[in-house]
Structure 1
């Protein structure tokens, strides 16, 4: 198909649809019928352009036009809450389920690196000594590690933690476009930091304190980071092995799904931030505090493997409806 000839043949219909959308509040009955007919026709044009894969810019233009026309036909103002509910009951969990093996792999790898790092530090006095003076390590273990969770007001601390964790998760996803290499760096550094903290605590006989303060919020918080890392690595791998899709088309589809994950993780990290700010260090009963973290983690996993599995099996991919077939690139 000659895409230029196709565009020239249908340009008048596209311009007319734009005109009707702009005047949607003052259309006559005949014009409303025309708007609906043109909306359906241009939706078909969009599918044709996407299938050809020849002009991502035209696909993006028609995608935007179809979205505006749909809003004019159905009334976008009345569907906002439906969209939000649909996002959290279908789109977000479906992507999490579809990419589950990526973030499960990241979870296993990160825990392995953290464990090896922690054991290495805890069982090698020379390595421990290289991390600081005996006084500074003792101060960290006996005071600083626990005090970190209670030295600031709970509300402001929760907000600070939420912002920081959301940024780390966003980095892990965004860096995926660089073939996933920076994502691996973020995950490795995070694993080493966790292992180093645990190693120092265990070396000084405070392993119980380490787990008591990490587990309440860390179960859900680290799962969110692992999910972000897995999605970022999937994004990077898509550039390397796009499969039967063109590289740009594959990247566009996976990038839009990654954006859905990033948005959904904002809520997940908000919950973990609340637990870290209001439970960790403040709830004195260790088992109650850990129990709250376990419940939050179990609910998240049940959400993914029930709601997400169902949506995935029904065909939900997490891609944005009527989105362009490729991500925009600089000309």
Structure 2
């Protein structure tokens, strides 16, 4: 084979493939099809050259071109560190920040319902009698409520708390498939559970003990639960009101984005579980325990607001990069 004639005949094809590879991020659907076709043709050229020539420079040039074209066609693997950085600085905080009004509404509704139920329980002995006998209530207030946080080894208790809270949060998000309709009821059950304990403790003038034990971990824990409820209901609402996009497109984008919150809350609830297991029952002064919980809460909110606001201004939605339903195609 006359290698010079071969190079002269096919150089325009190689140059065109090189051009398409260099501009792959802005190709049209037709150009993407052309890129795939030329990649296959130049791969054949490389095979021919390797079997018919000893020109190392030519073989090296075509090998490099084919390798770059293969990366453009199949998609280069994103390094794990880059995916992690994007998740931490963009995906999780921006989805949480964009759901802030749903998040705030969930928090306000929970606090109002909890306060109403707690006040009702504390002020009505008849209601308390339906919950338990005077001896049972006395044991709960004076012993069981505080013992709950220290009756198990800290490590296993942290694991149990983490698993339970993660399951509650996962339920909130999964309920989006039914438009999020069960989520307010799940929030109500949790509000009722907290409020009954608060009301019984208040009826025996033990609110200082109640808040001293519930606030260190409860601030971050409940914030995470409210966030899960918020993104679940917001995803459900997307089905009803998708905005200017097609309903399926909006739902696909929000569904992928919400998975970032599901993964992020695993970490948040892990931190909350550690505080509940190691700080809440510790011998630290009450102000110190509450201070640790408040510090964790402020740090989390500052992180979400800081990174989330910046990502939203950059037009980020929390969706994955190069989502398949928005990729260019012919």
Short-chain TM bin:
0.7 to 0.9
Deviation of 1:310 (Å): 1.2
- Superposed, 1:1-331 pairs within 5 Å as 13=36, 30=62, 32-34=64-66, 36-37=68-69, 40=72, 69-71=75-77, 76=78, 79-325=79-325
Q: Distance in 2 between matches of 1:208 and 1:190?
A: 21
Count of equivalent residues: 280
Q: Which runs of 5+ in 2 are unaligned?
A: 1-28, 44-58
For the residue of structure 2 that corresponds to 1:70, the secondary structure is coil
Call closer, same or farther: CA 1:142–1:234 in 2, change over 3 Å.
Answer: same
Cα distance in 2 between the residues matched to 1:298 and 1:178 = 33
Q: Distance in 1 between matches of 2:122 and 2:154?
A: 31
The alpha-carbon deviation at position 262 of structure 1 amounts to: 0.7
Instruction: Output the aligned Cα RMSD.
Output: 2.5
Task: Using the TM superposition, give the Cα deviation of residue 32 of structure 1 relative to its aligned residue in structure 2, in angstroms.
Answer: 4.8
Give the SS at the match of 1:181: coil
For residues 28 and 160 of structure 1, the distance between their equivalents in structure 2, rounded to whole angstroms, comes to 58
Runs of 4+ in 1 over 2 A off after TM superposition: 9-14, 27-40, 322-326
Task: Report the equivalent of 1:57.
Answer: none
Q: TM-score, normalising length from structure 2?
A: 0.79
- Separation in 2, partners of 1:132, 1:28: 83
SS of the counterpart of 2:324? coil
How much has 1:311 moved relative to structure 2? 1.8
Cα deviation, residue 315, structure 1: 1.9
Larger radius of gyration between Structure 1 and Structure 2: 2
What TM-score, normalized by structure 1, do the two folds share?
0.78
User: Structure 2: how far apart are the matches of 1:109 and 1:164?
Assistant: 22
Give CA deviations for 1:148-197 in whole Å, capped at 9, x if unaligned: 10000111111111111111111111111211112122111111111111
Query: Secondary structure of 2:182's partner?
Result: helix
Which residue in 1 is equivalent to 2:21? none
**Cα distance, 1:274–1:28 mapped onto 2, change above 3 Å:** farther
